[in-house]
């Protein structure tokens, strides 16, 4: 299997703030432990037994030095288009001729970019010629002897190669909150002060868009995976064919009402779902939280977040004053685009999911959750809602496959503690229902 992993500079694919191992590096390390442990217990069922990482950018720099070129991380993007293309060709020739790439028990993660935003213009990060070689060879190995099928009977000479099965190749784009990307880039000599926030938003959108176009062209899956998702998310996408869930919940409302314990319960629910499903959590990208620091003071911060959540925020945001200064520097247009990017990303997460599970512990309407439900419902996804009140809005009921609410003879919960207890009990019912519908064992 080949996983083509894109993501803009600073998204944390390979390197973390402070120089620690990035998301994909941690994934490979975690996978080695998980697979070894499952094999020792006789419980490993996937044909994938090894994960390996090939950093195309690092390989290009190494081969440049081998060729005697005076090129560094700081200067490589200033090379001419032709020189970059030749250097990329040298690196990718080595990649496609590596026998390890074609081992049936190995998943190779090719770390690259779809594009670079450098000095006000786009630079390609991939070579379509070598992508074509990868896909053609993968098809040959997966479907030996088969010929491409005709697109239309009226155009017998026009042929379309069959899609590559998911066990052959897929694309993934690692994304992160713009503020976290800004902090990582600021640590580097190459990127410090090179890309303002409004351009970072556009660059990350272009990276996702281009990667999706390449995946659609070859008719293979493309997934957007947030940097802050557990490494298990991408691990399960690589090694298993588990149903995929987008978990929706009214984050902004629960924050404003100081109901942080219900956010914790939603995330605990996500953790339990991950035992059987791939789960995409919208809170794994912190754009809205980071932008909100411009408006909330220390007292509100203490009210809206639990001590554990505050510690988590300080880990990715650094000092609160630093995050507030960044948020207050955003102009109105940038704030607008940041919010729009959040909407588009969450809808993409729904598109790549099989179903939408909604954790809705409040009677207050959430525009975000309702919009997500409508999008999922009208694109053929099943929508399951956990709602602690027996009186339902017809709009909620209409866009749901099933609502897990109190029975007619059951009183509505009144206190926060009773609501939490109902949500926990209904969460158990949802998991049982999803396992049964998908033919999975509990």
- The more confidently predicted of residues 287 and 145 is 287
Q: Are residues 290 and 420 in the same domain?
A: yes
pLDDT of the residue at 146: 53
d(CA 210, CA 26): 26
Whether 302 is in a domain gets the answer yes
Q: What tokens were used for 126?
A: 């991939």
Is the confidence at residue 153, as pLDDT, over 60?
Answer: no
What values do phi and psi take at 201, rounded to 5?
A: -60, -45
Joined together, the tokens standing for residue 67 give: 């060729």
Q: Is residue 226 part of a domain?
A: no
Q: pLDDT over 90 for what percent of the chain?
A: 62
Residue 199 lies in a domain: yes
**Model pTM score:** 0.91
Over 90: is that where the pLDDT of 402 sits? yes
> Can you give the pLDDT at residue 149?
42
**Residues in CB range of 172: below 8 A, 6 or more apart:** 3, 4, 5, 6, 222, 223, 224, 225, 234, 237
- Enter the tokens of residue 143: 């479907």
Report yes or no on 233 lying in a domain: no
Q: For residue 37, what are the domain limits?
A: 2-218
Q: Kindly tell me if the per-residue pLDDT of 258 is higher than 60.
A: yes
- What CATH code is carried by the domain that includes residue 301? 3.40.50.450
Among candidates 6, 2, 342, which has minimal Cα distance to 207?
6
Mean model confidence pLDDT for the chain: 89
- Rg, Å, the chain Cα set: 23
At 62 the pLDDT is 92
Task: Report the number of distinct structural domains present in the chain.
Answer: 2
Judge whether residue 290 has pLDDT over 60.
yes
- The reply to whether 442 falls in a domain is no
Query: Is the confidence at residue 281, as pLDDT, over 50?
Result: yes
DSSP annotation of 412? P
Other beta carbons within 10 angstroms of residue 15's beta carbon come to 18
Place of tokens 């009226």: 154
* Per-residue pLDDT at 158 exceeds 90: no
């Amino acid at each position: 299997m080949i996983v083509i992993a894109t993501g803009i500079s600073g998204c944390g694919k390979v390197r973390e703030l402070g120089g620690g191992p990035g998301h994909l590096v941690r994934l490979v390390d975690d996978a080695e432990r998980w697979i070894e442990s499952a094999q020792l217990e006789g419980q490993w069922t996937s044909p994938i037994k090894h994960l390996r990482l090939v950093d195309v950018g690092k390989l290009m720099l190494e081969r440049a030095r081998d060729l005697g070129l005076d090129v560094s991380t700081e200067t490589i993007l200033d090379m001419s288009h032709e020189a970059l293309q030749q250097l990329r060709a040298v690196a990718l020739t080595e990649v496609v001729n590596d026998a390890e790439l074609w081992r049936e028990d190995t998943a190779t993660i090719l770390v690259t970019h779809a594009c670079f935003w450098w000095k006000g213009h786009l630079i390609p990060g991939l070579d379509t010629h070598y992508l074509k070689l990868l896909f053609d060879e993968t098809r040959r190995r997966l479907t030996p002897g088969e010929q491409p099928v005709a697109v239309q009977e009226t155009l017998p000479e026009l042929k379309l190669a069959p899609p590559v099965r998911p066990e052959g190749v897929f694309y993934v784009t690692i994304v992160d909150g713009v503020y976290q990307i800004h902090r990582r880039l600021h640590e580097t000599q190459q990127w410090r002060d090179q890309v303002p926030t409004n351009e970072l938003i556009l660059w990350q959108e272009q990276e996702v868009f281009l990667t999706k176009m390449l995946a659609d062209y070859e008719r293979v899956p493309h997934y957007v995976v947030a940097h802050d998702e557990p490494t298990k998310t991408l691990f399960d996408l690589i090694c298993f064919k588990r149903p995929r869930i987008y978990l929706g919940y009214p984050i902004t409302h629960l924050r404003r009402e100081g109901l942080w314990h219900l956010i914790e319960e939603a995330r605990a629910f996500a953790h339990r779902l991950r035992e059987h499903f791939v789960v995409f959590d919208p809170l794994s990208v912190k754009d809205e939280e980071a932008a909100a620091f411009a408006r909330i003071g220390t007292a509100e911060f203490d009210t809206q977040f639990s001590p554990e959540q505050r510690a988590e925020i300080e880990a990715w945001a650094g000092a609160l004053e630093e995050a507030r200064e960044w948020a207050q520097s955003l102009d109105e247009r940038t704030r607008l685009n940041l919010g729009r990017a959040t909407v588009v990303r969450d809808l993409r997460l729904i598109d790549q999911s099989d179903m939408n599970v909604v954790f809705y512990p409040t009677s207050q309407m959430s525009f975000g959750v309702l919009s997500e439900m409508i999008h999922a419902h009208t694109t053929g996804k099943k929508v399951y809602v956990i709602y602690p009140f027996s009186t339902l809005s017809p709009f909620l009921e209409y866009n749901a496959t099933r609502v897990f609410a109190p029975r007619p003879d059951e009183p509505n919960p009144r206190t926060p503690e009773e609501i939490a207890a109902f949500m926990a009990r209904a969460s158990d019912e949802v998991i049982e229902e999803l396992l049964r519908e998908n033919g999975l064992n509990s």
